[in-house]
Amino acid sequence: MNVTLTINGSTHQGDVEPRMLLVDFIRDVAGLTGTNIGCDTGQCGSCTVHLDGKSVKSCMVLAAQADGSSVTTIEGLASNGTLHPMQEAFRQNHGLQCGFCTPGMIMTAVKLVERNPDMSDAEVRHGLEGNLCRCTGYENIVKSVIAAAKDMGPHSPFEADRAAHRETLREAEEIASRRSE
Amino acid sequence: MTATIRPFGHDQKRVEDPRMITGQAKYTDDFTLPGMLHLAVVRSPFAHARITGIDTTAAEAMPGVRAVFTGAQMRDAGYGGIPCAWVVPDSGTVTPEHPPLAIDTVRYVGDAVAAVVADNDYLARDAAMAVEVDYEPLDVVTDAHAAHQDGAPQLHADAANNQCFKWTVAGGDIDAAFAEADVTVSERIINQRLVPMAMEPRSALAQVIGSMGEVTLWNTTQNPHIVRFLTSLDTPFPEHKIRVIAPDVGGGFGSKIPHYPEDTMVIYASQLTGAPVKWTETRSENFQATIHGRDHVQDVEMCAKSDGTITGIRATVWANLGAYLSTASTGVPTILHGLMLSGCYTIPNIHEDVYGMFTNTTPVDAYRGAGRPEAVFMVERLVDKVANALDMDPVDIRRQNFIPPFDDGHEVATGLIYDTGNYHGALDLALEKAGYEELRRAQEEARAEGRYMGIGVCTYVEICGLGPSEVAGAVGFGGGLWESAIVRFHPSGKVRLMVGVNPHGQGEQTTFAQVVADQMGVPVGDVDVFYGDTAQTPMGWGTYGSRTTAVAAGAIVGAMEKIKEKGRKIAAHLLEAAVEDIEFDDGKFYVKGSPEAAKTIQEIATAANVAWSMPEGVEPGLEASAFFNPSNFVYPFGAHIAVVEVDPETGEIDFQRYIAVDDCGPIINPMIVEGQVHGGIAQGVAQALWEGVEYDDAGNLLTSSLMDYAIPKAGSFPKFELGHTVTPTEVNPLGVKGIGETGTIGSTPAMYSAVMDALAPLGVEKVDMPLTPERVWRAIEAAKA
């Protein structure tokens, strides 16, 4: 079947099997190998990308389900040659070792901070529980996320993304609250 | 003087990071070659069975399938069994045949039976499911101790009672020590089986160029040169026609040391189809078919005098090797385990028998720490038990039995000579950081309030920096353990360093650049560190056993000394001075006493590379190669303290504090060293609390995905509190020891001890790891009854 996605601002189209996972579309059709596959059960989070502004594990979504959507991968996170504050914070705080979980970890962390810029150490740790790392013992990842939260303030070039994300979240919460009523 | 920061000892940000934080890192599975095909492996669902038939016709007829092959076909094409690279002498070791694809018998769930090559991964896996294999199930044994008993199912015709080897280490007079002891303690310790779980699954991509008789293998390996050597033994390709490329490797922890059956399968598949062929394991395959670690049954005893002086340790160990020998299987529970039974203590009498056992389980090999965690846990557990028996504080008994500080070698009863050590220093600093006295007071108060707080102390020493090649040969390792390096100055004065080791997360692309920058007086950013390609790097034995910096740095320093020597000659020529009058300091060559008329190393590099005016008899170019064979292993040490509180109603453990003081000698990059310790602690604590492989009686792997094997998450830990003491070694020119495994080695015993300390008032004396809430709760309930 035909699937068309906008990935990091470029259009990618493929005639793929209906069972193809989004992560395989990103890696094999679009040729973007920054998104890694670390498991086959949705546990490790290495393949996390942003799908229409929300972080998702791209091994848990079919490419067909994402047809027509906009995806941001680790390759698309930097803006005009400037690293996203989360990328910079991982480097400054030694938040990575082998680097394999790092793209997914960064993509998750960006959305985590956009949702709540004032997290405690414990909140960051809780928020990252869907992403596994075997190298760092998480300590410097947590440090990186907290440092990035400080740099992702209102004057950040990424503020537009944050505002859009807050809007999405607000809508989602509204829907949720209507449902619970 | 300029206020420049010396590269050595500085928190240099990693040069690896830019590609890894932007998605530009290249791991093996990221490579796609034109016309590339994909391989999927048909694996046995039975732990032990006779293969009575393999029907590939249905699979071959499926869309996109290019080839289906079996072990018999590989054998007929000249492919041999996977070699074992370590045969411990004087142990009666048998090395049963390990075909890359099982030919008539499967011996563990996940054993490879056939392979399918297709246009893409989805089609290959579909077709793999269509391969029909007829099995005649056989009796199964998964436990190493049970495998040794009469009547146990037999795995290999040449291994009677499933015994691969019996190895003994002995020093002193163990029987006399026990006969004369005032107190003895004993325990059966189950050091459970673990999954290494590097986040990057294994992958192998082979491209055979038939006309040239050569093959390139992209591989997730910690040691490309070893993989090339072993591949030359089990494929028709000779060593000089094999190129192994290890691109970015996403963690290993030992699991990417071995040469695996899939390496040879993709080579055969590429030869068969004439196309490049790639295989990448799924995480489920990783659980089944990538090596596991640990898995000892240990019957251990320790004896002591009534004043707390430890006089002996005696053990019988059944080490589970799994169904076949992996690359270094036999060395792990012997040399890297048994020789370390003195720990950091003066224990004059030691005896251990180790039985290496075949069972119907995934092969077991080196997992971070590899043998040393199994030794340190054993020793530390027994020391705690002696302290309990004599009502001594665990700190006091350790201090009393420590080997006193030494700086020129100390021989222990197993025959090893530790390089340098100051165990009191590390313990004192750890106690100070922890506030030990205050913790004990808080514990008393907690107990008075009916709360169960525990404090665990572990003091350890480990053997790493593997190692002198003479010793490697003497203990049966089928290779050397030296390292080599090439330092090359380009005409512009920039530097390329090529090494045979293969970092995969440890950050040596940065630390080695720091070492070169520090000694050559060039900016760190001017040094490019290259590894991971047998065609472009000098021979080296790889990255494992906390050896990369401790051994390769010796070769790097050696190469730089040669560069400096040649630079002196060229500078003397250009400055019209005598060579013996030339000094080199901070990147400049100058005549003694007149530093203003200096030639920079960059100027010398240009002069040497253009060679317009060279001194008589000096060759052009500025490049040097050096080899380094260390005179001894290195022995890092440290003291770890864990603080927990256990909820007796639920068995849950509240992990409150973790203090680690490690001594790896002088530190090149503190940021990286601390990162290594963090990750090590996480893995070691995980063994104590959460992780453990489970098989059922039929040999089914019950923990076969991340849904049922509990690796820690970000919320599993408190912030770690680290410290360092610095005791240099004489073994290498930088005085450095290894740091990659210390965290794992020290933390399992510290955490276990903390939990047992918490449970002491409840009368609980033993719980097998992992200390899950259920197990702890059951032990508490049993103690009540």
Q: How does DSSP assign B145-193, residue by residue?
A: HHHTSTTPPP--TTSGGGEEEEEEEEES-HHHHHHT-SEEEEEEEEEEE
B410-411 and B349-358: which strand pairing? Answer: unpaired
pLDDT at A171 over 80: no
Token pair 């006399």: residue = B176
Phi and psi torsions of B623, nearest 5°: -150, 145
Contacts with A87 from chain B: Cβ below 8 Å: 21-22
Tokens coding B283? 């995480």
Whether B20 contacts chain A with CB within 8 A: yes
Q: Select from B30, B678, B707 the Cβ nearest to the Cβ of A139.
A: B678
| pTM for this predicted structure | 0.96
Whether B16 contacts chain A with CB within 8 A: yes
Question: pLDDT tens digit string along A45-65?
Answer: 999 999 999 999 999 999 999
* Per-residue CA distances from B539 to B358, B731, B738 (Å): 33, 21, 21
pLDDT at A90 over 70: yes
CA distance B50 to chain A (A): 30
**CA–CA gap between residue A104 and residue A34 (Å, rounded):** 9
Question: pLDDT tens digit string along A6-49?
Answer: 999 999 999 999 999 999 999 999 999 999 999 999 999 999 99
Sheet holding B594-600, edge to edge: B582-585, B588-591, B594-600
**CA–CA gap between residue A112 and residue A106 (Å, rounded):** 10
Closest CA to B261 of B417, B79, B402: B79
CB contact under 8 A, A100 and B27: yes
* Per-residue CA distances from B297 to A51, B147, B356, B689, B707 (Å): 49, 12, 11, 18, 26
Bridge partners (DSSP) of residue B165 are B356
Question: pLDDT tens digit string along B476-513?
Answer: 999 999 999 999 999 999 999 999 999 999 999 999 99
* Per-residue CA distances from B109 to B105, B140, B285 (Å): 12, 11, 10
Q: Select from B23, B29, B506 the Cβ nearest to the Cβ of A34.
A: B23
pLDDT at A162 over 90: no
* Per-residue CA distances from B71 to A68, B65, B101, B108, B264 (Å): 46, 18, 4, 16, 11
Q: Select from B120, B121, B714 the Cβ nearest to the Cβ of A125.
A: B714
CA distance A44 to chain B (A): 8
CB contact under 8 A, B671 and A94: yes
Phi and psi torsions of B38, nearest 5°: -120, 140
Other C-beta atoms lying within 10 Å of the C-beta of residue A18: 10
- What length does chain B have? 785
Phi and psi torsions of B602, nearest 5°: -65, -40
Mean pLDDT of chain A, nearest integer: 91
Whether B249 contacts chain A with CB within 8 A: yes
What are the mean pLDDT values of chain B's consecutive 10-residue runs (785 residues total)?
Answer: 71 97 98 98 98 98 98 98 96 97 98 98 97 98 98 98 98 98 98 98 98 98 98 98 98 98 98 98 98 98 98 98 97 97 98 98 98 98 98 98 97 98 98 98 98 98 96 95 98 98 97 97 97 98 97 98 98 97 97 94 98 97 98 98 98 98 98 98 98 98 96 97 98 97 98 98 97 98 94
pLDDT at A179 over 50: yes
Closest-CA residue of B relative to A46 is B199
- What length does chain A have? 181
CB contact under 8 A, B23 and A136: no
> Which of B11, B14, B19, B22 best probes binding to A when mutated, by most A CB atoms within 10 angstroms?
B22
**CA–CA gap between residue B228 and residue B67 (Å, rounded):** 25
- Residue A154: pLDDT band (50, 70, 90) is low
Bridge partners (DSSP) of residue A71 are A7, A51
Whether B212 contacts chain A with CB within 8 A: no
Phi and psi torsions of B123, nearest 5°: -65, -40
pLDDT of residue A164: 65
- CB neighbours of B403 closer than 8 A, spacing ≥ 6? B344, B345, B346, B410, B412, B418, B421, B423
DSSP result, A46-98: TTEEEETTEEEETTSSBTTTTTT-EEE-GGGTSBTTBPPHHHHHHHHTT--SS
B495-499 and B527-530: which strand pairing? Answer: parallel
CB contact under 8 A, A74 and B22: yes
**CA–CA gap between residue B129 and residue B115 (Å, rounded):** 10
Whether B57 contacts chain A with CB within 8 A: no
3-state helix, strand, coil in chain B (%, to 5): 30, 25, 40
CB contact under 8 A, B283 and A39: yes
pLDDT of residue B647: 98
pLDDT of residue B1: 38
Closest CA to B553 of B604, B519, B527: B519
pLDDT of residue A80: 84
Helix (H) or strand (E) holding B225, with range, is helix B224-234
**CA–CA gap between residue B389 and residue A98 (Å, rounded):** 45
Q: How far is CA B311 from the centre of its chain?
A: 31
Mean pLDDT of chain B, nearest integer: 97
- CB neighbours of B602 closer than 8 A, spacing ≥ 6? B492, B493, B522, B587
- CB neighbours of B188 closer than 8 A, spacing ≥ 6? B297, B298, B299, B300
Backbone region of residue B193 per phi and psi (left: phi > 0; alpha: psi in -120 to 50; beta: other values): beta
Contacts with A73 from chain B: Cβ below 8 Å: 23
Contacts with B707 from chain A: Cβ below 8 Å: 41, 43
* Per-residue CA distances from A45 to A58, A72, B13, B315 (Å): 9, 15, 25, 43
Answer for the pair B27, B250: CB distance below 8 angstroms, yes or no.
yes
Q: Is the peptide bond before B308 cis (omega within 30 degrees of 0)?
A: no
CA distance B770 to chain A (A): 18
In whole angstroms, how large is the CA radius of gyration of chain B?
Answer: 28
Token pair 């890894």: residue = B20
Answer for the pair B641, B434: CB distance below 8 angstroms, yes or no.
yes
Contacts with A45 from chain B: Cβ below 8 Å: none
Single-letter amino acid code for the residue at B547: R
Contacts with A148 from chain B: Cβ below 8 Å: none
